[in-house]
Amino acid sequence: MSELTLSGRSRIAGVMGWPVAHSRSPRLHGYWLRTHGIDGAYIPLPVRPEQFAIALRALPMLGFAGVNVTVPHKEAALAAVNRSDAAARRIGAVNTIVIMPDGTLDGRNSDGFGFEENLRAAIPSWSPTTGPAVILGAGGAARAIAVSLLEGGAPEIRLVNRTIERAERLSREIGGPFRIYSWSARTSALADAALLVNTTTLGMSGQPALELPLDRLPTTAVVNDIVYSPLETALLATAKGRGNATVDGLGMLLHQARPGFAAWFGVEPTVTPELRRFVLEAPG
């Protein structure tokens, strides 16, 4: 990679979050900036929730090309932008903001795109139309994945969540062929499923384990864990051991970053094994 040197014409983007120190996005975008020799920077922007709207409004005045928005600002970003795309509105959150030449803020959501591209990159024959999908969790990531699956033609989405009201709200707000399962009934959701996705925090380093016997899951089902720390979660290891195709969660993070980078810096970046290694080398 070439050395990074900024000029007075540098394009600037970043990630707004609170906290933001754990984010791998500066390393990810920094890799692409250097490999493409772009005169630009992507910086972490720690912004408190109560100051988010003010900080966002300042970006056009500071000459930013745009930002990513992460926890806890994604829903507030939808309300704060001047325009949003259909995916962002259906998900109820914005993760990518592009600052237009007239200084207005264009809000988009690329989490569903990242999810789908990750599955397609890992398993080129994968299609959401194959059969019922099981989503564990009903938080922000689950919303983006549900919208992506529905737009891809999934015939049925089985939502399993500890707080059943949250799953019901997701189903009501997004609309589609949802079936809701309580957490205690989670194994029954697995019968005849074509896809199982974990979007809960369970199984993540420092979090409780995900306890889910897979006996009822067909071995033809694809299993995806969007938790990527550790990269091979216990869910993925168990699924692999019984013959299911498995996909880890790092690729979703990498692919969701592509549309923002292309919009801010004018180059379509690619996700490569070298990029995966580079991002994984960062302390978690």
Ligand X SMILES: NC(=O)c1ccc[n+]([C@@H]2O[C@H](COP(=O)([O-])OP(=O)(O)OC[C@H]3O[C@@H](n4cnc5c(N)ncnc54)[C@H](OP(=O)(O)O)[C@@H]3O)[C@@H](O)[C@H]2O)c1
The distance of closest approach from Cβ of residue 95 to ligand X in the complex, given in angstroms and rounded to an integer, is 9
Closest to ligand X by CB, 82 or 188: 188
Note if 74 is an active site residue.
yes
Q: Looking at beta carbons, which residue is closest to ligand X?
A: 139
Among 212, 253, 263, 275, binds ligand X (CB under 6 A): 253
Using CB under 6 A as the binding rule, the residues of this chain from 142 to 181 that contact ligand X are 142, 161-163, 166
Q: How far is the CB of 24 from ligand X (least distance, A)?
A: 9
Which CB sits closer to ligand X, 10 or 166?
A: 166
The whole-angstrom separation of Cα 90 and Cα 109 is: 10
Looking at beta carbons only, is 170 or 263 nearer to ligand X?
170
E-only strand ranges, the chain: 11-17, 40-46, 66-69, 83-84, 96-99, 105-108, 133-136, 157-161, 178-182, 195-198, 222-225, 245-247
Which tokens in the block code for residue 30?
A: 């920094």
CA distance 139 to 226: 12
Q: Least CB distance from residue 260 to ligand X, whole Å? A: 13
Q: Is 96 in the site for ligand X (CB under 6 A)?
A: no
- Under rule CB under 6 A, residue 87 binds ligand X: no
Stretch that binds ligand X, among 60-68, 77-85, 132-140, 231-239 (CB under 6 A): 132-140
Is residue 70 close enough to count as binding ligand X by CB under 6 A? no
Task: Kindly determine how many residues on this chain lie close enough to bind ligand X according to the rule CB under 6 A.
Answer: 26
Q: Residue 69: beta bridge partners?
A: 16
CA distance 264 to 194: 36
When binding is defined by CB under 6 A, the residue of 46, 63, 153, 208 that contacts ligand X is 208
Q: Does 141 bind ligand X (CB under 6 A)?
A: yes
- Position 236 contacts ligand X (CB under 6 A): no
Draw the binding track, 4-43, toward ligand X (x: CB under 6 A; -: no contact). ----------------------------------------
Whole-angstrom Cα Rg for the chain: 19
- At residue 262, the 3 state secondary structure works out as helix
3-class secondary-structure state, position 101: coil
Query: How many Cβ atoms from other residues are within 10 Å of residue 34's Cβ?
Result: 15
Cα→Cα distances 284→25, 71, 116, 230, Å: 12, 16, 24, 9
Q: Which of 11, 24, 74, 255 is catalytic?
A: 74
Residue 20 tokens, joined: 């933001």
Distance CA 67, CA 77 (A): 11
Q: In this complex, which beta carbon is closest to ligand X, that of residue 89 or of residue 162?
A: 162
* DSSP letters for 152-182: TT-S-EEEEESSHHHHHHHHHHH-SSEEEEE
> According to the binding rule CB under 6 A, does residue 197 interact with ligand X?
no
Contact segment (CB under 6 A) with ligand X among 15-23, 101-109, 133-141, 230-238 equals: 133-141
Query: Which residues lie near ligand X (CB under 6 A)?
Result: 111, 114, 137-142, 161-163, 166, 183, 199-202, 204, 208, 226-228, 249, 252-253, 256
Annotated catalytic sites, by residue? Answer: 74
